[in-house]
Structure 1
Amino acid sequence: MRHTAAKAFAAVAMTAALTAIAVPAMADPATGTVPATTDIVGSGSDTTQALLNQFSVDYNATVSGTPKLYSWDATGSTKITPKSGAAEIDRPNGSGAGIAALNAANSPFDYARSSRGPQTGDLPSNLFVAFGKDAVTWSAKSGGHAPTNLTTQNLYDIYSCAVNKTNWSNFGGTSGTIKPYLPQINSGTRAFFLKAIGNPVLGPCVVTGPQENEGTDTLLNDPDVIFPYSVGHWVGQANGHVTSVDDKGSLTLRSVNGVAPLTTAGTLNPTFANPIYGRVLYNVVREADWNDTGVKGTALRALFGSTGYLCTDAGKATTVSYGYLAPAACGSTIHI
């Protein structure tokens, strides 16, 4: 991969104090609101949808007319009409689906939320614009059979369904048959987690299905389940950025290789956000749009660029309040 701007995230710093204001997360454009053809509209990652919804509310309050910012949730109604004049389409769910929707012929989308970086199969015309830092760990039900810590090799063995490694007692937990779950196939969190633990060949004990970062899923209310989870999203949920389904439920975050995902203050631990389990958060755009000197390019850079709204002190404070780390290199870009 080649960098098109400053090297992203060489250092990560908390730039604002974490605020724990219990404000429900917004969802989709407001009922009855149809984004204009000139508005900046996106979809994709479940991990960053609540944060981008908040950005849309805050940013739109600062501008009159268009372009405004809108963000469609990963889940909800099956069909959506992204903006005025666009055809009705299936709602993109996950980073991969959001990027695919951005690249579709005559796409109405202007950006895709992505909790993963560029990977094989992405288009070289896609530009990944960084704005935050997250980490992914494993979660399990509070009071269940799982231990408090697993190693990377343990996680590899569990998701491989390795022989004699299918009971929590094999890893220092209480006896119980391990139930390894993964989010749906287009999930950026799924892709990142599997890469972090060594890309195991998934064994027959692995179940795919639950929506990522939704600890309220009844399938996860089980003392033997293990499920990857965004640390930042979990912290945001703990801070009150929740809906009836977008909540951590009874899931608690667990350590990897002896490193805790949370600080004693309950924030994302920068030490855990290391090169293996730490990840950059992006908004993906078409490079031609980004370089456009007209209305669209100007609006995209005013939102996502290094001097854009997401990278202002106010924008970084919002990122932190939703549980993530605000990076020094906000607005840096990368692609294949």
Structure 2
Amino acid sequence: MRHTAAKLLAATAITASLATVAVSPAAADPASLPAAGSIVGVGSDTTQALYNQFSTDYNTFLTSSGSTAPRLYSWDATGSSPLTTKTGATSITRPNGSGAGITALNANTNATVDFARSSRAKQATDPAGFDFVNLAKDAVSWSAKAGGNAPANLTTADLVAIYSCTKTNWNQISASLPNATIKPYLPQASSGTRSFFLTAINGGGTALTPGACVVTGPEENEGTDAALNDVNVVFPYSVGHYVGQLNGHTTATDNVGVLTVRQVNGVNPLTGTNTLNPAFAAGSYGRVLYTVVRDTEFGVGSQLRAIFGQSGWVCSATGGKASITSYGFLNLPGTACGTF
């Protein structure tokens, strides 16, 4: 670890004396190059806006308390590339998605990347020495253009048929639907949302192999992509991210655009007040979101644990919990946040 014992003790003291910090608007990429000792992350599109808010609020907290502990920064999934994450870092291709973020964490030292944002669970191919630290609860549903040909509800069997291309016309789903070709889309290959969705509709074991009619390409959770402005589109969407967008956490591209999220098996992913429906998140389409760290750097007293651990800033009522809700996700029950 690069932090001295004094810094680690200071980090622990900071965590123990948390104070409420007024929420300021979150930026996107860091406004300037972070210092060499900063805590820096990359990865998932689903949680990038939330981690930007964490960065703003945590750094404000450190400044207000007079702490010299390393500041927290998070780089968005899209933007200019290659990317220099902090002073002295190795230049890398900007990681777009959970898988790409985890790969970058594995390929570099903490001089370049300290953590990865992930919207999928640990897989057998991930490094054994990585901890997937619980952050919050989300769910993934499907979306379609408002006023288009898609129905309000699809079953899991319908989604399997659509994404395996065994049903390609809406009137194959129901005789009451139009005679029109379904256009199933998926996010980029490294997307955790894509990986989770294909696994969830396939029963939770292995991911469904998409059929030849499926188009890969639109950035996940962005209803503004021109390809999605079609009356026949079907596209997976993080429900939490969608709620966060409805709550005003948007940019010109990162917003719901023309899409609305729809029901699966008759269960609405949204409540009547447009929050993530806990009943939907409790089912097979619910997922946990993670901060991925190297196990050797997540020990008791470490700066990473002081931020993301069970007793850390992110998991505290006066730290990250309010932002987790504001950005559309559900706080994990009890002391589940920060565990791995």
Range class of TM-score, shorter chain: 0.7 to 0.9
CA contact (8 A) 2:98 2:116 kept: yes
CA contact (8 A) 1:24 1:242 kept: no
The equivalent position to 2:281 in structure 1, one of 259, 273, 284, is 273
2:326 match = 321
Deviation at 1:227, TM superposition (A): 0.2
CA contact (8 A) 1:43 1:113 kept: yes
Aligned pairs, number: 305
2:124 aligns to what SS in structure 1? coil
The alpha-carbon distance between structure 1 residues 43 and 105, as it changes in their structure 2 partners (threshold 3 A), is: closer
1:87 match = 90
CA contact (8 A) 1:24 1:240 kept: no
The equivalent position to 1:188 in structure 2, one of 172, 189, 192, is 192
Q: Distance in 2 between matches of 1:77 and 1:105?
A: 19
Q: Percent same amino acid among aligned pairs?
A: 59
1:114 match = 118
1:4 match = none
Q: Does 1:285 align with 2:293?
A: yes
What is the 5 A alignment of 1:1-336?
Answer: 26-30=27-31, 33-63=32-62, 64-106=67-109, 108-162=112-166, 165-172=167-174, 173-198=177-202, 199-291=207-299, 297=302, 299-314=303-318, 315-328=320-333, 329-334=335-340
Deviation at 1:35, TM superposition (A): 1.2
Deviation at 1:25, TM superposition (A): 5.0
Q: Distance in 1 between matches of 2:305 and 2:109?
A: 22
CA contact (8 A) 1:215 1:247 kept: yes
Q: Distance in 1 between matches of 2:238 and 2:217?
A: 16
CA contact (8 A) 1:149 1:258 kept: yes
Counterpart of 2:135 in structure 1: which amino acid?
Answer: F
Structure 2 unaligned spans of 5+: 1-22
CA contact (8 A) 1:215 1:251 kept: yes
CA contact (8 A) 1:46 1:74 kept: yes
1:12 match = none
Deviation at 1:331, TM superposition (A): 3.1
Deviation at 1:330, TM superposition (A): 4.0
CA offsets 1:123-164 (integer angstroms, 9 cap, x no match): 1100011110000000000000001101111100100000xx
1:154 aligns to what SS in structure 2? helix
Q: Distance in 1 between matches of 2:225 and 2:152?
A: 21
Q: Distance in 2 between matches of 1:43 and 1:330?
A: 23
Counterpart of 2:326 in structure 1: which amino acid?
Answer: S
| Greater mean deviation of Cα atoms: 61-70 or 36-45 | 61-70
1:52 aligns to what SS in structure 2? helix
Per the normalisation by structure 1, the TM-score is 0.88
Counterpart of 2:50 in structure 1: which amino acid?
Answer: L
Counterpart of 1:215 in structure 2: which amino acid?
Answer: G
| Structure with bigger RCO (C-alpha 8 Å, 6+ apart) | 1
Deviation at 1:176, TM superposition (A): 1.4
Q: Distance in 1 between matches of 2:209 and 2:53?
A: 38
Deviation at 1:68, TM superposition (A): 0.6
Counterpart of 2:337 in structure 1: which amino acid?
Answer: G
Counterpart of 1:178 in structure 2: which amino acid?
Answer: I
2:298 aligns to what SS in structure 1? helix
Structure 1 unaligned spans of 5+: 1-20
Deviation at 1:251, TM superposition (A): 0.2
CA contact (8 A) 1:132 1:280 kept: yes
CA contact (8 A) 1:24 1:243 kept: no
| Greater mean deviation of Cα atoms: 61-70 or 243-252 | 61-70
Deviation at 1:106, TM superposition (A): 3.4
2:136 aligns to what SS in structure 1? strand
Deviation at 1:292, TM superposition (A): 6.5
CA offsets 1:24-51 (integer angstroms, 9 cap, x no match): 6520111xx2212211100000000000
CA contact (8 A) 1:127 1:333 kept: no
